[in-house]
Structure 1
Amino acid sequence: MIKVPGPRTAAVLLAAVGLTLLGVPATAEPPAAAPTRSTVQVSTTPERLDVVGLPCLPGQLTLTMINTGSESRYADLFLDPTGPLQLSRDIFSSWLPATDPDQPVSAPVEVRVPRDTEPGDHKITLRLDRSRLDVPVRVNPLPGKDPGSNLALGEQAAASSTHGNFELCGAVDGDADSEHWDTLTGWNDGTRAAFPDTYDVALAEPTMINKVVLSTLDSARYPARSVGLKDWDVQVRSGAGGWTTVAEVRGNQAGRVTSTFDPVRADQVRILCLAGNDNTYSRIVELEVYGS
């Protein structure tokens, strides 16, 4: 016996058949929503970076996030380097308020490579939500250093202490302008009114040197006679030997002082800071070393 469906059952069956004929399963779920585009804009300055393999001359990259949405939010920007690139941070996290006009939030990142890195192209991938931004990074050859070059430029620095507002490498970065003092360039020790202090630079290899140029703080607002370095010794060391004093400076009131001495073989140079003109800190804007 064939059982004939009732009117209600037949209506349901017809509806299911109709949906199937239209290409839509009767039990289909609503389509998934498309991924929401991030409301945070990411950019870098510069857009392309050049670096060299000097320990105290890293590439400087500034990361910026801007919340363009209508709601405040917290954002994590992840940094993924390729090859030999070494970053001072691998994440930039910040609260991004929703404001009008949109307000940028920025953070610096230092990019380094080992000294023996071959020249070539690499990249840093920035990831936030579903967005990606690739920053090209070019590794350039090491700059040549002949006897007329500043042998301390970009080489590894060391110090007895460093003030929290300064960078250890600030006095070997090639910037001797006192107007860029404080967070931009230069070195300041971290022990107020306590002397002596030391600032060292390790040369790339043992070299015959005969001249050291020291720039201390000296600007219209902060003259050397008031806040600059007053007394110091220039010392050198070779291998495992001890430090040898090759020049002395006393009662200085100038911003830039050149000390010359008989040629000596050295792989490290030290400024032994004995006194400042205000008896508070040892301040060096730039330390330069030259070969004979």
Structure 2
Amino acid sequence: MRIPRQTVVAAGTLAAAALLGSSSMPAATSDVAVSVAPTQLSVVGLPCFPGVLNLTMTNTGAKPRYADLTLEPTGPLQLSRTLFSSWLPAVDPDQPVTAPVEVRVPRDAKPGLYRIGVQVDRTRVNVPVTVEPLPAKGPGDNLALGEQATASSTHGNFTLCGAVDGDKDSEHWDTLTGWNDGTRAAFPDTYDVALSTPATVNRVELYTLDSAKYPARVNGLRDWDVQVKVDGAWQTVAQVRGNTVGHVTSTFPPVRADAVRIRCLDGNDHTYSRIVELEVYGS
């Protein structure tokens, strides 16, 4: 199964970007230059696969000022913020100010073309957003991919979705992927992923931190339980103790479950629980 990720088109300045559905360009009505990267997005209705827009404002005028960038989504688009406000100095060279915004849609969102209106002062353009069909997950597919994750705590350098984003590369740790708990030297920690629908599962693949700089025998997860949620209660279906490698497969008798949990009991450095990727498979 191929999960669509955001489509990247070279960033452009909003004041020079064509309005969606129009070949005309807005007149310059602001001393704030604004760019959005990418200028188009493709999103899918999986909770841990948001599209991300990076918004940048630069003061091109002679005086410092505050600026408000507002975002107005259409249709099913859901934004992590609808306002980006910042103090913009008037200096040479220019000092751009950047902030991200996550774009999500519900699982049942209707596929099609929507837009996000972006406005500063009286300058307004639209960013096209394509909602792709939700891909089905069948036999052999990773049931955890892109699904809603929760955790007992999360370190500030990481996101909940980092361990279900499809990236198993430990070299991307702490920059592009992975989950790290937020309670140093305090165990147990838990990392859960809710399945989209109840499913019969019998195998869990866990990737812990294991790179040239941070080998698993020093920094990886050492001890954990694999648990599944059945009728509202967590059941332990597999246990791992004394692990020193980066990838561990746990198999168990098939069980119909609503969610899967890794109950982290210790790390090899006895400080944090670290999961690069969690995969769940069923029969």
TM-score calculated relative to the size of structure 1: 0.85
Which of the two has greater helix per residue? 1
Over 3 Å counting, the alpha-carbon distance change for 1:291 and 1:102 in structure 2 is same
- 2:30 is equivalent to residue 38 of structure 1: yes
Is this contact kept in 2: 1:51–1:58, CA < 8 A?
yes
- Could you tell me how far 1:238 is from its partner in structure 2? 2.0
Percent identity over paired residues: 73
- Could you tell me how far 1:37 is from its partner in structure 2? 2.8
Match of 1:11 in 2: none
Match of 2:164 in 1: 172
Is this contact kept in 1: 2:177–2:276, CA < 8 A?
yes
Of 261, 268, 271, 1:280 maps to 271
- Could you tell me how far 1:144 is from its partner in structure 2? 2.1
Q: Name structure 1 gaps, 5 residues minimum.
A: 1-34
Match of 1:21 in 2: none
Tell me which moved more, 123-132 or 35-44: 35-44
Encode CA deviations 1:173-202: one digit per residue, 9 max, x unaligned.
111111221242211111111101110001
Root mean square deviation of aligned Cα: 1.5
C-alpha distance in 2, partners of 1:228/1:60?
29
C-alpha distance in 2, partners of 1:163/1:144?
32
Match of 1:253 in 2: 244
Match of 2:253 in 1: 262
- Could you tell me how far 1:127 is from its partner in structure 2? 0.8
Is this contact kept in 1: 2:28–2:123, CA < 8 A?
no
C-alpha distance in 1, partners of 2:28/2:195?
53
- Could you tell me how far 1:237 is from its partner in structure 2? 1.4
Tell me which moved more, 255-264 or 229-238: 255-264
Q: Name structure 2 gaps, 5 residues minimum.
A: 1-26
1:114 match: secondary structure: coil
2:52 match: secondary structure: strand
Encode CA deviations 1:107-127: one digit per residue, 9 max, x unaligned.
111111111111011110011
Alignment of 1:60-99 (within 5 A): 60-99=52-91
Encode CA deviations 1:190-218: one digit per residue, 9 max, x unaligned.
11111011100010111111111111111
C-alpha distance in 1, partners of 2:43/2:106?
10
Residue 70 of structure 1 aligns with an amino acid whose one-letter code is A
Residue 221 of structure 2 aligns with an amino acid whose one-letter code is L
Tell me which moved more, 99-108 or 41-50: 99-108
TM-score calculated relative to the size of structure 2: 0.87
- 2:222 is equivalent to residue 222 of structure 1: no
Is this contact kept in 2: 1:206–1:238, CA < 8 A?
no
- 2:159 is equivalent to residue 159 of structure 1: no
Match of 1:202 in 2: 194
Is this contact kept in 2: 1:225–1:252, CA < 8 A?
yes
2:94 match: secondary structure: coil
- Could you tell me how far 1:100 is from its partner in structure 2? 2.5
